[in-house]
Chains A and B, each alone.
Chain A
Amino acid sequence: KAGVTQTPRYLIKTRGQQVTLSCSPISGHRSVSWYQQTPGQGLQFLFEYFSETQRNKGNFPGRFSGRQFSNSRSEMNVSTLELGDSALYLCASSLGLTGYTFGSGTRLTVV
């Protein structure tokens, strides 16, 4: 059974650019959540999608957005990148309240 796949694994972008990260959940999982991990703030919830609908959103500016497709794959987009957006972005898929399975993340560096 394939796990959660996040692409790309590493990304370097320049301030002001935009970026799109992808997450393919475990087959059959309809919920996908995104988290930002930084050394100072730890893990912060970005948003959660279920059956193509955003069910919850964290306290991030509108530059952070996401979507989910009919096959449950999800993308998150960050526009007008800032240096502070440098982080590890983790995606988790789940089947129910507690079965969270995480991907290996995308390491985004903004220069």
Chain B
Amino acid sequence: AQTVTQSQPEMSVQEAETVTLSCTYDTSESDYYLFWYKQPPSRQMILVIRQEAYKQQNATENRFSVNFQKAAKSFSLKISDSQLGDAAMYFCAYRSRTNAGNNRKLIWGLGTSLGVNP
């Protein structure tokens, strides 16, 4: 069974600086998707960035980028030029590319609470 681990329950960063959130996962599959989601106090889970395992190039979305190390099963999120609005819970999630039966779901880490200091 696949698992996702986020080893940093809480982190903080100064406004305008850069922070990296860690995520490791375990799977025997070779083809899958990885996600970072943000959950602000409004509770809605918002997609930050998505990575397809068969693509070696790291995904980037504006100030957000990932460092995807497939062999090491590591998927970290880098937030550049941090803003007050980035303060939230961040979740790493895994989804098998296989669409059959028990694979049809997201598997989540426990999250990292990110604080941004003005």
Contact = CB atoms under 8 A, between A and B. Distances in A.
Interface of A: 33, 35, 42-43, 45, 48, 55-56, 58, 88, 90, 92, 97-98, 100-105, 107
Given A42-B110, A42-B111, A43-B91, A90 B105 contact: no
B43 A104 contact: yes
A97 B111 contact: no
Given A97-B95, A98-B50, A48 B43 contact: no
Interface of B: 33, 35, 37, 42-47, 50, 91, 95, 97, 99, 101-111
B91 to A, nearest CB: 7
Nearest to A42: B110
Contacts of B45: 90, 92, 102
Residue picked from B37, B45, B99, B101, most chain A C-beta under 10 Å: B45
Contacts, number: 53
A105 B40 CA distance: 12
Contacts of B101: 55-56
28 contacts: A33-B106, A35-B108, A42-B108, A42-B109, A42-B110, A42-B111, A43-B106, A45-B105, A48-B105, A56-B101, A56-B102, A56-B103, A58-B105, A90-B43, A92-B45, A97-B33, A97-B99, A98-B33, A98-B35, A98-B50, A98-B95, A100-B35, A101-B47, A102-B45, A103-B44, A104-B44, A105-B43, A107-B43
Contacts of A45: 105-107
Contacts of B33: 97-98
A42 B91 CA distance: 10
A107 B33 CA distance: 28
B61 to A, nearest CB: 14
Nearest to A48: B104
Nearest to A31: B104
